[in-house]
Amino acid sequence: MASISNNNSSTSLYSSPKGTVRCVIGGQWGDEGKGKLVDIIARNHAIIARYNGGSNAGHTIVDEKGKKFATNLLPSGVLTKGCYNLIGNGVVLEVPKLFSEIDVMIEKKKDDDDGVIQDLEQRILVSDRCHLVFGFHKLIDGYQEGVLQNEGLQIGTTKKGIGPTYTTKAARSGIRAGELLHFDTFEKKYRSLLQTLKSQYKEFKDLQEYDADAELKSLREVYVPRVSPMIIDTVSYLHKAIYVEGKDVLLEGANAVMLDIDFGTYPFVTSSSPCVGGACTGLGIPPTSISEVYGVVKAYCTRVGEGPFPTELKDELGEAIRKRGNEFGTTTGRPRRCGWLDVVAVKYGCMINGFTALCLTKLDVLDECDEIKVGVKYLVNGVEVESVPHSVETLDKVEVVYETFPGWKTDVSKARTLEDLPENAQKFIKRVVELVGVPIKWVGVGAGREAMVLLN
């Protein structure tokens, strides 16, 4: 059947992007070093767009002077001069936390001469459709986790109010950032939402006594004047940037594949969609606009909180990796559980996201290991399972088949090319590529921006 086209139609603007859109996604259980990769390649992009999660995410960026910056809400392009940082509709935003991060960054950078902070707030954009996190959401988060803990079913939430905010969003009672521009209407909706939640948690004394007036006063007098200029229609903004102006855009995911609300180790997951589909719904861009998808995985594996972890090391070696890799949560400070690289989980993430390349991070953490293992198969009752089982009970019982590699016992932190790496490290990287079936484009060998091996 013939199609009818109209070259003058506005819809033709969206058939072929003029700019390049790339996406960075965590390929494990989070904390893989996504922020570092985004920070490094941000200089080649006009816009960095965060599409999911909230202040439960923790990204660490190290600038050229070795200063560390921990961000939870701010996209990782904030330290790149001239780069716009967009918080999409799929994010749940705690406004006071956003400005706490901004103020800390300005304070830490105030004596630097790189010009990054001069226009920082002008380079931050917030979707008018982004749902808001309030103090009572955080109270409920902690309360719910406490109830589950009493029953031995705790999730390991960060207690930042993320789950309860996504719950009110799904229940169609949530409040979006655009409402702040009409404060009288916003206040009515705020009080209505709080009253609804109080009726659902009648036994929760702290919620019943919640000081709504104080929070509203703080928002009205302190935060709304600062955030209002940032709030825009980001859907139209992104479409114009990609399809009309030809700007390159980098999409930044929080959390990771194995924490995805649909594809992760449910219920031990986050409350949003970190995978590539979440980028489309969390920003309002079409799938056809995304040309490259990068998965970030550590050379080993970690996870924070409860839930199955097939390759976990519960011994002195796991503790040594934790200490050497400084594996403590950016958001909570909790010690991360450490284990070997799990190829089965990485391949699962590749299936879902269609990774076009991988970034293998923290190779240097394995420098002192005599030998290194990689989990290559799952067996259940002696029979290989094709991929990650949906059931956490089954995943808890899998027997992992490992391949073992000799360590390199050499400091790799100064390496900048594949040839700079010791032979055993090169063999390890090449074997991971063979096992996963996706090329590795970057290898992280230290914390700083410069500590990255770029592969052809």
Q: Which sequence positions are flagged as catalytic? A: 31, 59
Question: How far apart are the C-alpha atoms of 191 and 184, rounded to whole Å?
Answer: 11
Question: How far apart are the C-alpha atoms of 217 and 213, rounded to whole Å?
Answer: 6
Which position has the token pair 């029953």? Answer: 151
265 closest CA partner among 24, 28, 23:
28
DSSP calls for 110-164: TT--S-SSTTTGGGEEEETTPEEP-HHHHHHHHHHHHHHHHTT-------SSHHH
DSSP calls for 225-245: HHHGGGEE-HHHHHHIIIIIS
Q: What is the CA radius of gyration of the chain?
A: 22
How far, CA to CA in Å, does 141 sit from each of 64, 73, 94, 158? 38, 18, 14, 8
For residue 174, what are its two tokens? 């949530």
* Other beta carbons within 10 Å of 187: 15
How far, CA to CA in Å, does 86 sit from each of 34, 182, 237, 330? 16, 22, 10, 21
Question: How far apart are the C-alpha atoms of 319 and 324, rounded to whole Å?
Answer: 9
CB 339, CB 318: distance < 8 Å: yes
